[in-house]
Amino acid sequence: MAHRVVEGGGEREDVGSFPVLKRFGGALGVLVPAAVRGYFSELGSTLRETGDVFEIASLTRTEEMHGFKVYGSGRFRKRTRAALELLSKTSVFDEVRDNLDLINEGARSAMQVVGSQFIFNVGRKTWSDDPLWYAGCIAHDSKHAGLYREDVAAGRLDTDRETYRGAEAERNCLNYQEKALREMGAGKDMLEIIEYWRDEPTYQGNSEDEYLARDW
């Protein structure tokens, strides 16, 4: 997913910019060992440290808006609603909605698959940005999800023919993001960011360490 600079857990299988969350642990009202803290932080839960364990202090809400399920804090849901309102006016909106099952407040931005659910985890730097930029990012990652679905259906997953990841996939998703941004009336500065990353399509990295280092 393209990102821009603005001043101011679970066990994963490494699949480049599309980490697959394989399982979750813990339940509401239990004490969660520090080792599985990431399970809940990825889901946007609020954790309170109590010695060597983390207690789930409060679970944030799921809300439906514009045909999407959105999970996160009140502020996150408000910002997501504003982004979806903009995106709903574009020609790509129905396809975006078909490709995503959940938009989730996460520690960093990336697509994940949990069972049959396609989840866009959104980092704070992305969802707190200009709603227009955030809307474009939703479109971008939904395209990765759509390409992944197509790869599965065509039997291309984990072969040299898969299309959902890699430099060419990133250019494809950036083009899709640009289309949405133009339809939403994005200015020259924002579109130039897309052009910049299109020339550097490996910016997101492919390793687990690079994924964990994301601040967006």
pLDDT top residue among 182 and 13: 182
For the record, the structure tokens of 55 come out as 């207690």
Q: Which residues contact 55 (CB under 8 A, 6 or more apart)?
A: 31, 32, 47, 48
Span 85-104, average pLDDT: 97
pLDDT of residue 212: 62
Q: What pLDDT digit, counting tens, does each position of 21-52 carry?
A: 332 332 333 333 444 344 444 444 443 333 33
User: What local confidence, expressed as pLDDT, does residue 114 receive?
Assistant: 87
For the residues 205-216, what does the mean pLDDT come to? 63
The mean pLDDT of 146-171, rounded to a whole number, is: 94
- Is the pTM higher than 0.85? The answer reads no
Q: Which residues contact 49 (CB under 8 A, 6 or more apart)?
A: none
199 vs 175: CA distance, rounded Å:
12
Considering only CA atoms, which of 112, 42, 125, 40 is closest in space to residue 79? 125
Cα 116 to Cα 121: distance, rounded to the nearest angstrom: 15
Segment 111-140 shows an average pLDDT of 94
From first CA to last CA, the distance across the chain in angstroms is 9
Domain range annotation of the chain? 13-22+61-201
What residues are paired with 53 via a beta bridge?
Answer: 33, 50
Q: What's the whole-number mean pLDDT along residues 63-81? A: 94
Q: Is the pLDDT of residue 20 over 70?
A: no
- Do residues 44 and 60 make contact, with C-beta atoms less than 8 angstroms apart? yes
